[in-house]
Amino acid sequence: MVIDYDQAAFQSAAALEKREIKAIHKASGRSMTFKNRTEFYGRKKNSLEGSWLGDQNTMREAKGQRPFSKDEFEIEDVQIASEVSHTLYECKRRIENYCKHLGVEDYFGVIGKGETFRHELLLPQKYKSNRDTALRPLLLTEAKDYLVEYHEGKIVTGIEADDMLTRYGYRGWLDYKKTGKFSYIIGTMDKDQRGTPCLYFDIFAQKGKFKDPDPILIDDGLGEIWLQKGEVKGYGAKWLAVQMCKGDESDHVRPYQDFGIVYGDTSCYHDFHDAKSAKDLFTRVLNRFIEWFPDGVEYDAWNGEHVKMNSLEWANMMFKLVYMHRIKDDPTTFTKLLQHYGVLK
């Protein structure tokens, strides 16, 4: 079993870390702590109903006092780490849980380090730059170091850990086609892996129970997509098509969002769910980009460089972002895929 140690370490360190917020009244300097932002100012964008601040304002208005606005407060995130030994034990416990559940004994994991070729791509917003300000568990480094030293963790550079997981997963698929047995099963929560033929196990668990307890065999067919609570989900080639056109806001993969185009999960589902062949599927992807950008795209990249591309070049850019490398120095491009399936000559 090959495990995504980036995720295992993050989940282990975050699970035992206490988080809260400090709300500071800017004018007076007084502060209070709360479990989260929702407790302080509620769930609704334009209403303080059901929140501490909303209750305070109701009482202030009853006294003839001016209500507070959100802007009068500064919010600070507060993180309180657990004991290091507890976090490291949580790493060990999670890995043992994966292996016990699947009945496997041999395992190792991969950890990504540093930026990759995707960070160099000239996008309107740098790849994954929205994660720069995201909170990292305080003991994340300690958790990763522990997995490397004691649980066969392998550090990869130049590519993402997801790409290396894909290599192992795809190798397992090729062995399965030859022998009927998988040489590797990959354990991860990352949805990018669902576009590659492999034996996939979702390691996400709550209270010791896996959300999807059974491994998923993703073959080299079209796969399936579906809507779940308004969000498109899936696996296989159709999932790759969805990723190219819908993008992934968590990684700043934005095929249409920076150009004033409206396109949602439901539209994406209708575009691809009934594709009958790979040629049909990827023709639809190409046509979507041509329809969006008949004259191509033009923008200033994150580094200030002015970029101009035609619709196929922009589709290739999205493909580079979402396609996980199946072999070392994988040469696959969207154009080559279109040529392979007879969409382009």
Virtual torsion, Cα 294, 325, 201, 87, nearest 10 deg:
-110
Query: β-pairing, 73-80 with 198-202?
Result: unpaired
Q: Which pLDDT band, with edges at 50, 70 and 90, does 132 fall under?
A: low
Q: Which pLDDT band, with edges at 50, 70 and 90, does 250 fall under?
A: confident
Residue pLDDT, tens place only, 60-90: 999 999 999 999 999 999 999 999 999 999 9
All structural domains of the chain, each given as residue ranges with its CATH number in brackets, are 1-16+82-220 (3.40.50.1010), 221-345 (no CATH)
Other CB atoms within 10 Å distance of the CB of residue 334: 26
Which tokens hold the place of 239? 């999932």
Residues 334, 282: Cα–Cα separation, whole Å: 9
Residue pLDDT, tens place only, 196-227: 999 999 999 887 789 899 999 999 999 999 99
Q: 278 near 222, Cβ under 8 Å?
A: yes
Average pLDDT over residues 315-319: 98
Q: Look at residue 288 and tell me whether its pLDDT is greater than 90.
A: yes
Nearest CA to 23 among 82, 93, 74, 80? 74
Q: Which pLDDT band, with edges at 50, 70 and 90, does 129 fall under?
A: confident
Which tokens hold the place of 49? 């109903």
Residue 60 CA neighbour count, 13 Å, CB half: 11
Q: Look at residue 251 and tell me whether its pLDDT is greater than 90.
A: no
Distances (CA, A) of 98 to 15, 154, 161: 16, 18, 19
Q: Look at residue 253 and tell me whether its pLDDT is greater than 70.
A: yes
Q: Look at residue 133 and tell me whether its pLDDT is greater than 70.
A: no
Residue 309's pLDDT is 97
Local structure of residue 110 (DSSP, 8 states): E
Residue 264's pLDDT is 92
Q: What is the value of pTM for the model shown?
A: 0.89
Residues 252, 3: Cα–Cα separation, whole Å: 25
> Please, what is the end-to-end C-alpha distance for the chain in angstroms?
40
3-class SS of residue 116: strand
Average pLDDT over residues 175-195: 95
What average pLDDT is seen over the chain?
95
